[in-house]
Amino acid sequence: MILPALTEATSPLFRPIKYSLFPPLGLATLAGYLSPDDEVRIVDEHVERADLTDDRPDVVVIQVYITSARRSYELADQYRARGVFVALGGLHVTSLPDEAAAHADAIFLGPGEDTWPQFLADHRRGEAAPRYESTTRTLQGLPPIRRDLIKRERYLVPNSIVVSRGCPHHCDFCYKDAFFEGGKSYYTQAVDDALAEIDRLPGKHLYFLDDHLFGNRRFAEALFEGMKGMGRVWQAASTVDAVLAPGLVEKAYAAGLRSMFVGFETVNEANLTEQRKRQNVGRDYDAVARRLHDAGVMVNASFVFGMDGDGPDVFGRTVEWAVGAGLETATFHIMTPYPGTALYKRMQADDRIVHHDWDLYDTRHVVHRPRGMTPEQLEAGYWQAYRDFYRWGNIWRGASAKPLPDRMRHLAYAGGWKKFEPLWDALIRSRQVLRALPLLETTLNRMRVAAQ
């Protein structure tokens, strides 16, 4: 089972820490369905290179993202040339199945909880189909994830976990609608099953990779209640409307939440309606930041540049608001029309997509014709926003209005994430990155210690 490296993660000169954060949880989940006497190994090219020398397994499974498509197809073609059965799945395969099918013996569209067990049975009989499409959506009865196949020492956050699938919202630029087409687009595990998976994880730190952990309030509240007293420190993602829901963030904090990824996306209200980001429309972003900070939770904000309402001033305005609101970290993106999304279909119909070089569909390059500025302005502004937000002066300004313990946590978290990248590079190359996990746990938990 192979997770090919995203194109931007293959530089021999520098390895950002974000590519050594999480192990390939999806592949480890599929491995749980194999029989006890099956031999299986997982190769994550973000932390090790796949060695094809004399490698002839019975089956190769490759998970394909858009900017790893070229490498995925390269690996698939090499294995097929040796007579190895190749199965391809993932976001990009679901979006462009005919493209992927040219490089595979079998392709998987959508999530694999229903199709993967069927494929295994078919393949053992020698009757594997060329295409498997998910229609039955459930997380009931999942086998334990094969975490024994994960090289934990190579990841900063080995305890990643997913207890739901999809998202209840339908934004035009999001891949989710394409991936979950043909069935439910949001569903959760049973709370007891989720808690049992958490119990199996060693240490204290967790990272929920769910698109929207707070998407089902009843499930979220029951999960948080079950996690109280576990002594966990964790991070997750949510939306602005869920953050503003009465009492929910506070319950999450009591269960160990210390940092939240929030999709603010844009400071231009008109963009939200255009992209069907309805859960953000009319929301007070300042109130969202205050709510999280008052609860003791740091904010990792997501912003997208290049929507049709954006002009050259959007970069400075976004950074100024984010710094003024005291956001600890921010992730910036250039709007990218992923195949299969409503945004892609709209831009393709308007002849605004300039090429299909998937290597550049990484939210760092302009692949469409923007309306409010030139492509050069958009790309330059994106990089400038990163430089400006993570200047020491702005990091200090964002932290300065907070009480001393929170201020120190802000400086440590934001500075450690962006200002010490050469150190992260050294830890990754020496395969010592896990040694930094206690420092991450201490930084995340600073608020709780101070409160005690």
β-pairing verdict for 205-208 and 298-305: unpaired
Would you kindly state where each structural domain of the chain is located, as residue ranges?
2-133, 156-447
Q: What is the mean pLDDT of the chain?
A: 90
Is residue 211 within a helix (H) or strand (E), and if so which, with residue range? none
**pLDDT at residue 270, rounded to an integer:** 62
**pLDDT at residue 447, rounded to an integer:** 43
**pLDDT at residue 76, rounded to an integer:** 97
Conformational region of residue 298, where left means phi above 0, alpha means psi within -120 to 50, and beta covers everything else: beta
Most distant pair of Cα atoms in the chain: their distance: 66
**pLDDT at residue 283, rounded to an integer:** 66
**pLDDT at residue 272, rounded to an integer:** 53
31: nearest Cα among 158, 145, 166, 111? 145
369: nearest Cα among 386, 355, 357, 383? 355
User: Into which CATH architecture does domain 156-447 fall?
Assistant: Alpha-Beta Horseshoe (3.80)
**pLDDT at residue 450, rounded to an integer:** 40
CA distance to 124, 338, 418, per residue, from 35 (Å): 11, 36, 43
**pLDDT at residue 3, rounded to an integer:** 97
pLDDT tens for each residue of 310-332: 999 999 999 999 999 999 999 99
Fold of 2-133: Rossmann fold (3.40.50)
- pTM beyond 0.85: the answer is yes
> What stretches in the chain show pLDDT beneath 70?
12-15, 270-283, 446-452
Q: Distance between CA 80 and CA 205 in Å, rounded? A: 40
Burial string for 387-417 (b: 16+ CB within 10 Å, else e) reads ebbbeeebbeebbeebeeebbebbbbbbebb
**pLDDT at residue 452, rounded to an integer:** 37
- Distant-in-sequence contacts of 195-202, Cβ < 8 A, 24+ apart: 195/223, 195/226, 195/227, 197/144, 197/145, 197/161, 197/163, 198/161, 198/227, 198/230, 198/232, 200/144, 200/147, 201/147, 201/159, 201/161, 202/159
Q: What is the dihedral of CA 3, 332, 237, 340, to 10 degrees?
A: -60
How many other C-beta atoms are found inside a 10 Å radius of the C-beta of residue 169? 21
Q: Where are the beta strands (DSSP E) in 266-328?
A: 298-305
213: nearest Cα among 235, 193, 233? 235
